[in-house]
Amino acid sequence: MTIETADAWQDLAARARARLQDGLPLETRGTLTRLTGLVLEAAGLRVPVGAQCQVRMGENGEPVLAEVVGFATDKAFLMPAGDVHGLSSGAIVSPAPAFVPPLRLGQSAESQREPDTGAAGVLRLPMGAGLLGRVVDSQGQPLDHNGPLQDVQAEAMDRTPINAMERDPVREPLDTGVRAINALLSVGRGQRLGLFAGSGVGKSVLLGMMARYTQADVIVVGLIGERGREVKEFVEDILGEEDRGRAVVVAAPADAPPLLRMQGAAYATAIAEHFRDQGQHVLLLMDSLTRYAQAQREIALAIGEPPATKGYPPSCFAKLPALVERSGNGLNGVGSITAFYTVLSEGDDQQDPIADAARAILDGHIVLSRALAEGGHYPAIDIEQSASRVMHNVVPREHFELARQFRAVYSRYQKSSDLIQVGAYLAGSDPQLDEAIRLQPGMVAFLQQTMFEAAPMDASVAGMAQALGAG
């Protein structure tokens, strides 16, 4: 054994003894042995799946954050969260340190020390009131150039699921400010809905309308896997200055690694849970659930999981309910998360596997129609294909019956619209269709709304009655 090797071993032993004396777990390290596509392979690293690690060339190299996503015998598979250029075989892989919030004026560092989780590489990100009005990335780093985060504390991302019997059922209506939703697809506080749409039919504008007009204490927006330019546009143009102070935006654009896209969705949900646990009513807007599933698909395929349905491995369909079930009403009715998840329908196909899976685990679905959007009908909500599964529990019987009548008359006209447009229908042949034709202009006008117009719940119900000639 050379003198240099002996000195290295002595230094390692001294550091191990120091950590044991301080009551800290022994530091574990591994070495990078392989890089294939998106996956790093490390040997000698004993940390659990989900642990955050740093990969660096030498002691002073620039670290690359990665997460353990699987293992085989003594090999650990990691997914990088940054650029891997410059890494080579033999790079050091070690558990990443936890997030350390900045010092608050007037307090000592000792008084602000966060409790140790006791597990190496546990992901802990900033939570707290200091996030309100800020735009952060998936790792809690500010993107808005407004300085470091203040009044935040580091919290673990993993949370214990709430017992289903300890959640209050959805019973209280929620005013979204969108006329078609308030009247025909009434939302309950704590409900989880999907916004199903293809590209370019106005889903982002509809999300912005709900963010601006919905009655909520806190708004959490997760922009996951979407175009980078939409982040600034959503914050400045759609969200607006008035509502920015009660909103938190978590951005993981399309060019972010798949790990960060998944982490962004989990972080946005954890922020919403943090405020819900404080008894506040939270509106969670996530755009989009499909990009979250696609990020999981990239990771699963990279580590060798076989594809099952249209290229999606089974783990994708297991991850969706695990994310969605975290929202909803809090323990014994204290706080709530009302969530809207956008779901992209590839080629406007409502039977897309992710769309089909999301429809089964959500409490309702709002479908946006490309045909309506092309005709200048905004918001382009197709009320015939949309449904709210809790509407009958949150609105009076008169409101529910009025909405049923509206749907029946509207659907009657749509089924015969081809005959009407070509002049093949003779007036008087069907009295119910004659009534639908007479009411159609008023019903179409009722369903349309500009993005700068708010429609309260009472006004929406009155407008629906007036469109039917009942008010």
Tokens, residue 215: 């009655």
Does one domain contain both 436 and 289?
no
Strand partners, 154: 126
Residues 120 and 46 sit within 8 Å (Cβ to Cβ): no
Does one domain contain both 326 and 344?
yes
| CATH number of the domain residue 423 falls in | 1.20.1270.330
For the chain, the domain total comes to: 3
Let me know if 457 is exposed, middle or buried by CB neighbors in 10 A (0-12, 13-18, 19+): buried
Does one domain contain both 64 and 194?
no
- For residue 266, the model assigns a pLDDT of 94
Of residues 73 and 179, more confidence is placed in 179
Does one domain contain both 296 and 347?
yes
| CATH number of the domain residue 81 falls in | 2.40.10.170
> Is the pLDDT reported for residue 251 higher than 50?
yes
DSSP state of 68: E
- For residue 103, the model assigns a pLDDT of 46
What average pLDDT does this structure show over 440-444?
93
Reference 190, options 272, 246, 106; nearest CA is 272
Q: Which of 363, 392, 421 is the last residue of a domain?
A: 392
Let me know if 294 is exposed, middle or buried by CB neighbors in 10 A (0-12, 13-18, 19+): buried
CA distance 372 to 365: 17
Cα distances from 298 to residues 38, 81, 259, in angstroms, run 9, 13, 9
Q: Which of 392, 408, 423 is the last residue of a domain?
A: 392
In a domain, 146, yes or no: no
CA distance 307 to 410: 42
Angle between helices 258-277 and 289-302 (to 10 degrees): 130
Segments forming the whole domain that contains residue 67: 9-122
Tokens, residue 357: 């899976």
CA distance 287 to 195: 9
Does one domain contain both 384 and 404?
no
CA distance 456 to 334: 25
Phi, psi of 270, deg, nearest 5: -65, -40
Tell whether the torsion through CA atoms of 17, 22, 26 and 28 is positive or negative: negative
In a domain, 138, yes or no: no
pLDDT tens for each residue of 33-84: 998 888 999 998 888 888 889 998 877 778 888 999 988 888 999 999 888 8
CA distance 124 to 254: 23
What average pLDDT does this structure show over 221-226?
90
> Is the pLDDT reported for residue 222 higher than 70?
yes
- The identity of residue 396, as a single letter, is P
Where are the alpha helices (H) located in 234-329, listed in sequence order? 240-244, 258-277, 289-302, 314-324
Q: Which of 86, 103, 122 is the last residue of a domain?
A: 122
Does one domain contain both 367 and 419?
no
In a domain, 160, yes or no: no
CA distance 351 to 345: 8
**Which of 3-12, 17-26, 348-357, 380-389: highest mean pLDDT?**
380-389
| CATH number of the domain residue 289 falls in | 3.40.50.12240
Reference 268, options 288, 254, 242; nearest CA is 288
Does one domain contain both 387 and 405?
no
Does one domain contain both 434 and 382?
no
